[in-house]
Amino acid sequence: MSAWNDACKYGGRSRVWIPRGTFLLGSVLFEGDCNGSMAFLIKGTLKARTGGPNLFADTWIGFRYVANLTVKGGGILDGQGPTAWAYNDCRNNSRCLPLPATLRFDFVRDSSVYNIRSVDSKNAHINLFACDNVHVSKVRLRAPADSPNTDGIRIGSSTRVSISHSRISTGDDCISMVSGSQNIDIHDVSCGPGHGISVGSLGRSHEREYVTGITVRNCSFIGTDNGVRIKTWAPSRYSVASNIVFRDIVMENPRNPIVIDQKFCPSSPDCDSKVGSSSAVQIKDVTFQNIWGVSSSKVALKLQCSRAMPCRNIKLIDIVLVYSGPGRRATAQCSHVIGSSYGRLIPNGCL
């Protein structure tokens, strides 16, 4: 911490260097404002502590109120998640305590994360909150397919974020964009195993939520639970997800390649069937274009929109998805969708 504090006070370009070797590290938070640009170079392997106050926290390595920051170096961040995943029981335990994200950025702007490897995170590998103009590139994020809540990159209340040329294999969403995500560009990302790239879930809180200006392009999904997905809770407050583009996508045996799910309520599968219980999240202006490959389930395209707030201006353009099972013929399911289709469409008959 003293090295960071000294570098932060310097008015020019400063760097903090973690040399080669293996080091055990507890929870740390590096804060600004700093007087100049900062480079945080990780050459060695950092291992998270596994007990005591370090187990239940929101951050392992955090950066807050920093501008012009670069985190890079080719090093490894080992969250030692297997020692903590048994405590990740929030779905069944209302008193559960948070587990730390490996890298957390709060109120960070004009910054980049480059050439970093994260393994076995206790929670999310990288968490971006209230950030602006942050670029993530050439990261490798890995955790077992059954590791709970290990999102690769989680984005919320952030603008102008780009994620590129990265490989994510984890137990939850490879990338998730929740409320307040605006102008997000994701390209050249390989996802799998994992739960795909998701917008949402939206609508669970008591506040109005929004996500807008999302582009996912030139990505591949390999053996994932989902491919590209938008999910909202039912019931929910009025919220909006809009101006979203998924294009130039390769599917290699995901279970659900293309999904809009406005009936996301794990504790009550029939939540949309009751009066007043539909999702009130408006999904509009969404394009799925040039998506092709193989689905491991027969239903390759599923657009389940809200009865109370139908999806609007949904476009399907040049989609070719075949089923990996007998007959190779995939199907599509749509409900409460207003939209149009163009070009070659397999499966057909949805819009």
Give catalytic residue positions. 195
Q: Is the peptide bond before 269 cis (omega within 30 degrees of 0)?
A: no
Alpha-carbon distance of 337 to 351, in angstroms, equals 8
Whether residue 225 contacts residue 270, with contact meaning beta carbons closer than 8 Å, is answered with: no
Sheet holding 299-304, edge to edge: 28-31, 59-64, 101-106, 126-129, 153-156, 175-177, 197-202, 226-233, 256-264, 299-304, 331-335
* Best CA proximity match to 256, nearest among 149, 350, 330: 330
DSSP string across 74-125 = S-EEE--GGGTGGG--TTT-TTPPPPPEEEEEES-EEEEEES-EEES-SS-S
